[in-house]
Structure 1
Amino acid sequence: MSEALNENYQICEELGRGRFGVVFRCLSLEDGYSYAVKSIDKKLTQGDSLDAQCLLTEPKILQLLAPQQHVIGLHGLYEDETHLCMVLDLCSASDLHHRIVTRQVMSEPEAASVMDQLFQALAHCHRLGVAHRDIKPDNILFDERNCLKLADFGSAEIFKDGERMSGVVGTPYYVAPEVLAGRDYCEKIDVWSAGVVLYIMLAGFPPFYGDSAVEIFEAVLRANLRFPSRVFQSVSPAAKDLLRRLLCKDVSRRFSAKQALRHPWITSGGGSLT
């Protein structure tokens, strides 16, 4: 921890550990509010230029995106020879992964509330030329007011209007088929991943799966979207219509985040449509 950080914040209990560092709760000595501080050990990234680049990219992207209520806020950045520390919004409620594991299946209104907030975050990111590239429940956090905060921009990339991106990034169940196919892609890969998140919230399992990473990737590349009747008989036609538009292999026909926000299932809050 840098001396400057300790001058401004009181470091409290550990909240979690990741590949490159530790997250603590911290107390601002100026305003008395609690925040999270992500402390990254630079030694752990040595020899991996991609990870070292992510260290520099994430704070830059968070500064570009601020302020947006559904994107995690960066409140301070401290760096010394050994560590990089980011002071972030404290998301004290359970993340979406924990909620899915605990609940298995969510109601349509609850799922619609999550997706509305997520698409607001994605529309904001895409409007400012940022693709997250790793949308998954683990990176969807909630604060004490149950406000969604999109987090972990370590894989994110800045793009110019009409510019394509490349590189295989993401997480097996959630990655878009065009990424796996090795083609250049656009920001709509985030929309695909959001569609997988929605499917899992409504069904309790992913739309494309297998017993190994290779089998999962093959299923994603086929993109054969199905709605098993034993699970989806109680899911509304509007929800299934939105899923078809999000999990559309043809990128030109796939919804943008902005279009998803205008879909009737989202605007009705997941309620029954007449």
Structure 2
Amino acid sequence: MTESLKIDYQVCEELGRGQFGIIYRCFSVFSGRSFACKSIDKRLLCDSTDRECIEKEPKILHILGGNANVVQIHRLYEDDDSLHMVIDLCDGPDLYDRISNHVGVFSEPEAASIFIPLMQSVSHCHRLGIAHRDIKPENVLFDSTGKLMLADFGSAEWFGMNESGTMTGVVGTPYYVAPEVLLGREYNEKVDVWSAGVILYILLAGSPPFHGETPVETFQAVLRGNLRFPLRIFSSVSPEAKDLLRKMLCKDASRRLSAEQVLRHPWVTSVRQT
């Protein structure tokens, strides 16, 4: 651990780990407040692309600071071998665990209570010219009060940094990745809207809209984009919810809703009022 980090924070137990690093619980020795510390071993980075992603994430989190539904970065420490980001502690079950442990499907109000703050965080990112590019339940976290926070911006990109506002690169996760990403074309921030639409579908149906036995079969299903609403599952789902799903999971990105348009959709506005 970087010496200056150990002066400011007491690092405690491990909370999880990823490809390049480990997340620990920590607390400030000055305030006693609890945080998470994302510690990345730079010696494990395979190439310049990995290093660029690691260096980009704290910069993006600084830009996105101030939104209640985006994980905040509080301090950054770096030495020759490692990088440590002190971020908000989200010690509640993530959305993947919530879905896995939920009995049956989510009601529309239950789904909306998760979906709306998720879309508010996505809209905030897009207004600042940033696309997350890997929205999935594992990256939708909750703190001890149950507040939703979008996390893990390692695949994020500044689409606002170029004139076209487009991006390239195959990133994302099976089930959630948008078809235009898989096609290797230039794409825009609406890839996040597609991914959030997949999450909404899963909340209401209990299964993803596009899937296969293998990642390749799943990608093929995504590329076909044959969106269905099986009657046995969707018979009690409102027409407004299905209309929103159609407009988020639209293969033609030019016709797909933006994040702001999603938040103005009748299903979202009507659920907010109930």
Note whether the superposition's TM-score is higher than 0.5: yes
Kindly provide the CA deviation profile for residues 199-231 of structure 1, in whole angstroms up to 9, marking residues without a partner as x: 011111100011111111111111010000111
Is 1:117–2:117 an aligned residue pair?
Answer: yes
Number of the residue aligned with 1:159: 159
Tell me the alpha carbon deviations over residues 143-162 of structure 1, each in whole angstroms, 9 at most, x when there is no partner.
11211100000000001264
1:271 Cα deviation after fit: 7.7
Instruction: Report the equivalent of 1:37.
Output: 37
Give the letter for the 1:29 counterpart. Answer: V
Structure with larger RCO (C-alpha < 8 A, sep 6+) = 1
Aligned pairs (5 A) from 1:3-82: 3-45=3-45, 47-82=46-81
Return the offset for 1:60. Answer: 0.5
Tell me the residue number matched to 2:146. 146
Q: In 2, are the aligned partners of 1:136 and 1:174 still within 8 Å (CA)? A: yes
Residue matched to 1:243 = 245
Q: Deviations over 1:105-163 (max 9, x none)?
A: 21111111111101111111001000000000000001112111000000000012642
The separation in 2 between residues aligned to 1:143 and 1:268, in whole angstroms, is 27
Describe the superposition over 1:165-192 as per-residue Cα deviations: whole angstroms up to 9, x where unpaired. 1110000110001111111000000000
Query: Which aligned segments of 4 or more residues in structure 1 are displaced greater than 3 angstroms?
Result: none
Q: What pairs up with 1:223-262 in 2 under 5 angstroms?
A: 223-262=225-264
- CA distance in 2 between counterparts of 1:166 and 1:83 reads 28
- 5+ long unaligned stretches in structure 1: none
SS at match of 2:118: helix
1:264 aligns with 2:263: no
2:213 to 211, 235, 239: 211
Aligned residue identity for 1:67: G
1:268 to partner: Cα distance: 2.3
Answer whether contact 1:265 1:271 (CA < 8 A) is retained. no
What is the deviation of 1:49? 1.8
C-alpha contact (below 8 Å) 1:109/1:271 kept by paired residues: no
Percent identity between matched residues is 62
The answer as to whether partners of 1:111 and 1:270 remain within 8 angstroms in 2 is: no
1:244 is displaced (CA, Å) by 0.6
